[in-house]
Amino acid sequence: MDEFELIRRYFACLPTAPDVRVGIGDDGAVLRPTPGRDLVTVVDTLVQGVHFTPDIDAADLGFRAVAVNLSDIAAMGARPRWMLLALTLPAAEATWLERFAAGLQAAASAHDVVLVGGDTTRGDIVVISVQIVGDVAPDAVMMRSGARPGDRIFVTGTVGDAAAGLTLLAGGQTDNILVRRFLRPAARVAYGRALAGQASAAIDISDGLVTDLDKLLAASGVGGEIECDRLPISAALRSRFDADTCLDFALAGGDDYELCFTFGDGEVPQADDLAVTEIGVVRGTPGLDCRRNGKPYAHADSGYRHFR
């Protein structure tokens, strides 16, 4: 199977949409934006050996490659619409490609995102780059830079699960709710859109709560304080690890893809199936402090950084 056969068999056959004037098959995709809305574009790359091991299920990998991008779109308060896939593979294996395309499509179709193009190359290791284009009402976009002293800090869902899941996965466990949270992150797209125009600032948690909240606060030129005892830690996490380890996962563990946001006066939007927890407050002075049982808590700052 050559490159063109591969594209035809696994990717060109995926669903398209009326706003895609030219999709897979030409030199470029031609897309019809909705008048009056701004475009938001994100891209994220998964590299074998850095983000995943070769034994990962290709369906999980395809799902994850899309989900991490959806999460960035969610953090901007945007609606995801179109995606491009740049795929580097050592070999074209039919079963692997079938599973990969199925996982990719499962994550995309859940949010009506369509594949409009990409690039396929041979290389020594698997590298997957997905780009998503979304749109947003110009006055509703959420950025990292809008937090103001006195705003409250919130987080969606639960934190620490994915990092714990990665630990379990490394130990050979696969059938576990925490492992699933790592492999199949649920991007908070609907809640991000509900927050758009309301939250003062937002970021998605990919590197760890402390690391990512720090970025938001720094971008806003403010600081903050979070209360460790308030952090939403899942029953699944609590049942597997002691309280200190849970807290380390919650503060420093990455890959949760929850939203962390700041909010001024008024009530945060409610969601039926998603917990939203107030965890702290924004201050005028720079830096992020964690408190536990009323005392300062020195957390391990171990958010992932490339080239560190």
- Nearest Cα neighbor of 171 from 155, 160, 182, 159 is 182
Contact 139, 211 (CB under 8 A): no
Q: Which of residues 77-116 bind ligand ADP (CB under 6 A)?
A: 85, 87, 115
C-beta closer to ligand ADP: residue 118 or 134? 118
Task: Name the strands in the sheet holding 223-227, side by side, starting at the edge strand that comes first in the sequence.
Answer: 201-204, 259-263, 152-156, 276-283, 223-227, 287-292, 295-296
| Closest separation in Å from C-beta 42 to ligand ADP | 17
Contact 195, 77 (CB under 8 A): yes
Rg (CA), the chain: 20
Contact flag: residue 7 with ligand ADP (CB under 6 A):
yes
Among 24, 70, 288, 290, binds ligand ADP (CB under 6 A): 24
For Mg ion (CB under 5 A), the number of binding residues is 1
Contact window for ligand ADP (CB under 6 A) among 18-26, 148-156, 193-201, 214-222: 18-26
Q: Show the beta-strand stretches assigned E in the chain.
A: 20-22, 30-31, 38-47, 79-89, 114-122, 127-136, 152-156, 201-204, 223-227, 259-263, 276-283, 287-292, 295-296
- Taking CB within 5 to 8 Å according to partner kind, which of Mg ion, ligand ADP, none is near residue 119? ligand ADP
Contact window for ligand ADP (CB under 6 A) among 25-33, 160-168, 182-190, 210-218: 25-33
Instruction: Pick left, alpha or beta for residue 202 (phi over 0 → left; psi -120 to 50 → alpha; otherwise beta).
Output: beta
| Closest separation in Å from C-beta 141 to ligand ADP | 27
| Closest separation in Å from C-beta 28 to Mg ion | 8
Contact 292, 228 (CB under 8 A): yes
Contact 10, 97 (CB under 8 A): yes
- Taking CB within 5 to 8 Å according to partner kind, which of ligand ADP, Mg ion, none is near residue 163? none
Q: Which of residues 115-174 bind ligand ADP (CB under 6 A)?
A: 115, 117-120
Among 2, 18, 27, 138, binds Mg ion (CB under 5 A): 27
Residues found near Mg ion in the complex (CB under 5 A): 27
Residues found near ligand ADP in the complex (CB under 6 A): 7, 11, 24-27, 85, 87, 115, 117-120
